[in-house]
Chains A and B, each alone.
Chain A
């Protein structure tokens, strides 16, 4: 174990922050989705790291699951993106405000 666990956590945290920033700042739906993916990868990184720390396979297993789910999610999300684009002719996230109370 050459890399200390705290470094790994810091990287994961930074990754997570970047993803969050992308979600909050960007207005394009695809970029928001990319932000979500980055945040998920940060979580996966923590899982793998902690699995190595405690010598248990569970974390790595979860990371594999996470990847599979991500793949499915992306497929679904991109389909939705296409649908949204067709509906409004734009991908600006603020155009989709039908949920307003």
Chain B
């Protein structure tokens, strides 16, 4: 196959979306939803078909020149290398499964065409980010996913809360995008091109003083999409969207776009040690913060949202510690187990009839499929030994440990503590959702086939996903790391004995977390509502803080301008002007009697005046 056909990978979902936009209303439900699913599945198939092109330096496909002006040339170019190919495979694979799940989940939704169009458009935009070989093209996808995320969070827009959550996500990520844009323009100023491979090949052109600010700007841009400190508070509210959307966008793909961006520009990121320290610090702070918040949430989806934030924080830590493959490994395993958890949560909410874990019916435990797969996902999230999450999280912590120096030691300690809290809140969720009393309700809805069928696939991936990058200590050969050409600058230099101790420690952390959760949350009576839990539940009152810091001063300022200038100055000035004209006209209009004789009389008077004037002139002259 010709390499140009790589462009089909993003174009297939776009085509599915376009056909549904144009004809979705006329096609039957079966055809239009089927089209959406098939287009994404075909895209996944294309990624596999083109897999060999990713080998070596990858393949660059230039489709056409998008912008050409003096000194600026932006080709629409795709870059299909090991990083983008593996990411594209994950995105299309998970998207396909979630699309299938949506067939069942949205079976009673009247507005299914809009839903599937947005979902397909999202996959298209995400694949543009992944495959872009040019920063401007990447930015196009970056904004595209932002828009689709906004539209899908507020999918049930008739309820004001959902629309507000969408707007919040849109505005907050957009605020962060400004930093990314500044970084891109700065890079263009240095290199004169937006091409990613060209920039990465000549990173030595970046002045030493510019490296750290550039990395910090990129970090801020990545933080917006990835819901990291300080742009994180939109993610929990984003759960207002349909559950599969949360699984796809706010767990598996879009929130990892920030991590992917930093991976894509990793040679640049590595130029600045301070920048990398900042990345690790932001990551670990968010990871710890979100884990604590997850501990006190009372809605199943909000627990998962905070845990997503926390796990993405781990990916940032990995990047900060200098291991690209570690970050991507955790990205992939997290995509598997987190989308599994979200889809499972969708089933649990459907069966339990309630999003709130204290009020929901525990009916889900009688469904072995949902219970089993959710358990697998939770174990992977908590880092149970030999699950995928265990290997990826342990790998990150080991790398951080190997960095040694002061800051990274702190990060390692915090990371281990966060791993403990992760196990704690995961088992709290499990005990609350599946333990406790079962309330008797009327009939329990049955799960449709398409919802149930995807769970085992994701469960297998979540359970055995670790094999793609099995560390040597477990007899693997770190396939993913070699595939991503693994020139990890800082080779994890850990002695064999230390590595065993670290692994044992990870197992111990998991076990302690489980035991603590068993002791604390086995009974519902343990759910005291005290100050600490309120503090955690509200996300450290970050929303209130933001409101005090930004919204309230802005509102006050706006009110001031409204009162002082708009109403007093402008309205006063212009209505004064109008009143003056009006009043003047009132006086003058009396002259206009409308009687012809008056006008003729004034003609005569004028004539007399002129005649006497000229007469005076003549006599005087």
Chain A residues proximal to chain B, CB less than 8 Å: 20, 23-24, 27, 32, 93-94, 96-101
Contacts and interface: CB of A to CB of B under 8 A. Distances in A.
Task: Pick the 6 closest A-B CB pairs, nearest first.
Answer: A100-B594, A101-B592, A101-B589, A97-B594, A99-B594, A93-B596
Contacts of A24: 597, 600-601, 604
A24 B599 CA distance: 9
Given A20-B604, A24-B604, A99 B592 contact: yes
Contacts of B588: 101
Interface string B583-616: 0010011111111110011001001000000000
A101 to B, nearest CB: 3
Contacts of B597: 24, 27, 93-94
Nearest to B597: A93
Contacts of A98: 594
Contacts of A32: 596, 600
A93 B604 contact: no
Q: In terms of DSSP, what is the predominant structure of the interface of chain B?
A: helix
Q: Which size bracket describes the interface of B in this complex?
A: 10 to 19
A27 B591 CA distance: 20
A62 B594 CA distance: 34
Contacts of B601: 24
Interface string B43-56: 00000000000000
A91 B590 CA distance: 24
Given A24-B601, A24-B604, A101 B596 contact: no
A32 B596 CA distance: 10
Contacts of B607: 20
25 contacts: A20-B604, A20-B607, A23-B604, A24-B597, A24-B600, A24-B601, A24-B604, A32-B596, A93-B595, A93-B597, A94-B595, A94-B596, A94-B597, A96-B596, A97-B593, A97-B594, A97-B595, A100-B592, A100-B593, A100-B594, A101-B585, A101-B589, A101-B590, A101-B592, A101-B594
Contact of B600 (A23, A96, A100, A101): A23
Contacts of B594: 96-101
Contacts of A97: 593-595
A29 B240 CA distance: 81
Nearest to A20: B604
Interface string B15-48: 0000000000000000000000000000000000
| Highest count of chain A CB atoms <10 Å: which of B585, B604, B607 | B604
Contacts of B591: 101
A100 B589 CA distance: 8
Given A94-B595, A97-B593, A98-B594, 19 more contacts: A20-B604, A20-B607, A23-B600, A24-B597, A24-B600, A24-B601, A24-B604, A32-B596, A93-B597, A94-B596, A94-B597, A96-B596, A97-B595, A99-B592, A100-B592, A100-B593, A100-B594, A101-B585, A101-B591
A101 B598 CA distance: 13
B383 to A, nearest CB: 88
Contacts of A20: 604, 607
Interface in B552-609: 585, 588-597, 600-601, 604, 607
A96 B589 CA distance: 17
A9 B591 CA distance: 35
A37 B590 CA distance: 30
Interface string B440-480: 00000000000000000000000000000000000000000
A24 B595 CA distance: 12
A12 B594 CA distance: 31
A27 B601 CA distance: 12
Nearest to B585: A101
Nearest to A23: B600
